Chains A and B, each alone.
Chain A
Amino acid sequence: DGGITQSPKYLFRKEGQNVTLSCEQNLNHDAMYWYRQDPGQGLRLIYYSQIVNDFQKGDIAEGYSVSREKKESFPLTVTSAQKNPTAFYLCASSIELAGGPITGELFFGEGSRLTVL
């Protein structure tokens, strides 16, 4: 079945460690996104990519890094520079491209919960 797969589902990190969250999609979507979800704050955009080998910072990119070497994959690294990394992270993809019809529909993975010990 087509969809977005995030792994791991739960991740624990010690302070000072970098961790990488995986996001893979087989929907053939060009655009991919990383959101952070905190209670009461909704979803906030970390990074997005509209095409392979290109990505842009979202509203809260500090302390995070991404890569987009393949269309199907958009991994997120939470670095030691992120001061408050404990959160739920959601990856999404979209068929929508710049200049094309507007759908607003994002397809989400099931998320990864990161806890800093």
Chain B
Amino acid sequence: AQTVTQSQPEMSVQEAETVTLSCTYDTSESDYYLFWYKQPPSRQMILVIRQEAYKQQNATENRFSVNFQKAAKSFSLKISDSQLGDAAMYFCAYRSASDAGNMLTFGGGTRLMVKP
């Protein structure tokens, strides 16, 4: 079974600075997808960024980018120019490409605090 580990329960960052959230995963598969989801205090979780394992290029979405190291099974999220609205729980998630449905395995989450 796949497992996803987020070793940082809490992180804090000063507004306008950069922060990196860590995620490692364990899988024996070669084809899979990785995601970062954001859960703001309002609780409605949204997808932040997606990475296909077969792509070497790291995904970017505006201020959000990932550092995907397939051999190390590492998938970190970098938030640049942090804003107060970035304060939330962030979950790393894994999806096997061979699964019949869209079942994701989530990590335990990292709470990000943004200081003004």
Residues of A within 8 A of B45 (CB): 90, 92, 106, 108
Cβ-defined contact, A58 with B102, below 8 A: no
The number of chain B residues touching the other chain, given as a range, is: 20 to 34
Cα distance, A58 to B43, chains bound together (Å)? 22
Cβ-defined contact, B101 with A98, below 8 A: yes
Chain A residue nearest to B1 (CB atoms) is A59
If A40-B9, A104-B33, A104-B50 touch, whether A45 touches B43 (CB-CB below 8 Å) is no
Cβ-defined contact, A106 with B108, below 8 A: no
Cβ-defined contact, A103 with B108, below 8 A: no
Nearest CB in chain B: distance from A45 CB, A: 6
- Which of B13-21, B60-68, B92-100 contacts the other chain? B92-100
Cβ-defined contact, B109 with A42, below 8 A: yes
The number of chain A residues touching the other chain, given as a range, is: 20 to 34
Count how many pairs of residues, one from A and one from B, have CB atoms less than 8 Å apart in the complex: 67
Cβ-defined contact, A45 with B103, below 8 A: yes
Cβ-defined contact, A96 with B35, below 8 A: no
Nearest CB in chain B: distance from A10 CB, A: 12
B42 within 8 A of A: yes
Chain A residue nearest to B50 (CB atoms) is A104
Chain B residue nearest to A43 (CB atoms) is B106
Cβ-defined contact, B44 with A106, below 8 A: no
B113 within 8 A of A: no
Cα distance, A13 to B25, chains bound together (Å)? 36
A25 within 8 A of B: no
Residues of B within 8 A of A33 (CB): 102-103
Cβ-defined contact, A41 with B101, below 8 A: no
The A-contacting residues of B in range 1-38, CB under 8 angstroms, are 4, 6, 9, 33, 35, 37
Cα distance, A106 to B106, chains bound together (Å)? 12
Cβ-defined contact, B101 with A109, below 8 A: no
Cα distance, A90 to B33, chains bound together (Å)? 22
Cβ-defined contact, A104 with B101, below 8 A: no
Chain A residue nearest to B93 (CB atoms) is A104
Interface residues of B (CB under 8 A from A): 4, 6, 9, 33, 35, 37, 42-47, 50, 91, 93, 95, 97, 100-104, 106-109
